[in-house]
Chain A
Amino acid sequence: DGGITQSPKYLFRKEGQNVTLSCEQNLNHDAMYWYRQDPGQGLRLIYYSQIVNDFQKGDIAEGYSVSREKKESFPLTVTSAQKNPTAFYLCATGGWSHPTGELFFGEGSRLTVL
């Protein structure tokens, strides 16, 4: 099945620990994105990547890091520098065949920092 797989779906961590959220896609899309969702605030863009080995900061990149070593994978690390990491994180993809901006979303990862 073609799609986007995010893991884990739920994650609990202690304050001060780094955590990495996985996002894998088999849609052959060039562009991948990470959004953060908080109640009542909509989706805010953390990082995006249009091509392998290249990525750009979004609107709220501080305290996060990413890599794009393979077309299929775009992991997000939430570092201890992120002041308020508890949130729902969504990975999305698009591509040259979707220059209209339509995005395809994974099921999300809910991170809770205790």
Chain B
Amino acid sequence: AQSVTQLDSQVPVFEEAPVELRCNYSSSVSVYLFWYVQYPNQGLQLLLKYLSGSTLVKGINGFEAEFNKSQTSFHLRKPSVHISDTAEYFCAVSGRGGGGSNYKLTFGKGTLLTVNP
């Protein structure tokens, strides 16, 4: 089984400032990791994913995340945020193992990023 902890429920920042949204996970098997974004009253959209290879992954809208196996973390970063980045961000994990574990994505509780002018 997997679990995900998003360490901050809310992160307020000013426009053009850098931001980091923190995510830690636990799992008894190797994992795939994801960040999704949700704008108000909408579904979730994939920002980026880590499957294997380079631990630094780049996503849409200028976001990137770094997989740190020793710290079991997958923090999301953006060097300069815009007002339009205001949304809720979810970290998620799925197990690499077979038997259907790949089919169940476990989500964190979300981090609300608010970008102020």
Q: Which residues of chain A come closer than 8 Å to B36, judged between CB atoms? A: 105
Q: What residue in chain B is nearest A108 (Cβ atoms)?
A: B43
Q: What residue in chain B is nearest A103 (Cβ atoms)?
A: B105
Whether, in the assembled complex, B104 has its beta carbon less than 8 Å from a beta carbon of chain A, the answer is yes
Distance in Å: Cβ of A27 to nearest Cβ of chain B: 13
Q: What residue in chain A is nearest B49 (Cβ atoms)?
A: A102
Q: Which residues of chain A come closer than 8 Å to B102, judged between CB atoms? A: 99-101
Q: 9 tightest CB-CB pairs across the interface, nearest first?
A: A101-B94, A105-B43, A42-B109, A43-B107, A105-B44, A42-B107, A99-B102, A100-B32, A107-B43
With the chains together, A104 CA to B46 CA distance in Å? 8
Tell me if A50 and B90 are in contact (CB < 8 A).
Answer: no
Tell me if B109 and A102 are in contact (CB < 8 A).
Answer: no
Tell me if A105 and B49 are in contact (CB < 8 A).
Answer: no
Distance in Å: Cβ of A49 to nearest Cβ of chain B: 10
With the chains together, A92 CA to B107 CA distance in Å? 13
With the chains together, A58 CA to B105 CA distance in Å? 11
Known A40-B110, A48-B104; further 8 A-B contacts with Cβ < 8 A:
A35-B107, A41-B109, A42-B109, A58-B104, A90-B43, A94-B103, A101-B104, A103-B105
Whether, in the assembled complex, A61 has its beta carbon less than 8 Å from a beta carbon of chain B, the answer is no
With the chains together, A4 CA to B109 CA distance in Å? 23
| Interface hits, A48-71 → B, CB 8 Å | 48, 50, 58
Whether, in the assembled complex, B51 has its beta carbon less than 8 Å from a beta carbon of chain A, the answer is yes
The CB with the most chain A CB atoms within 10 A, among B32, B43, B104, B107, is that of B43
Whether, in the assembled complex, B100 has its beta carbon less than 8 Å from a beta carbon of chain A, the answer is yes
Task: With A42-B90, A90-B44 as known contacts, state yes or no: A101 contacts B109, CB within 8 Å.
Answer: no
Distance in Å: Cβ of A66 to nearest Cβ of chain B: 15
Mask of B13-50 contacts with A, CB within 8 angstroms, 1/0: 00000000000000000001010100001111110010
Q: Which residues of chain A come closer than 8 Å to B51, judged between CB atoms? A: 100
Q: List 11 A-B contacts (CB under 8 A).
A: A6-B43, A31-B103, A40-B9, A42-B90, A48-B104, A88-B41, A99-B103, A101-B32, A101-B103, A102-B34, A102-B49
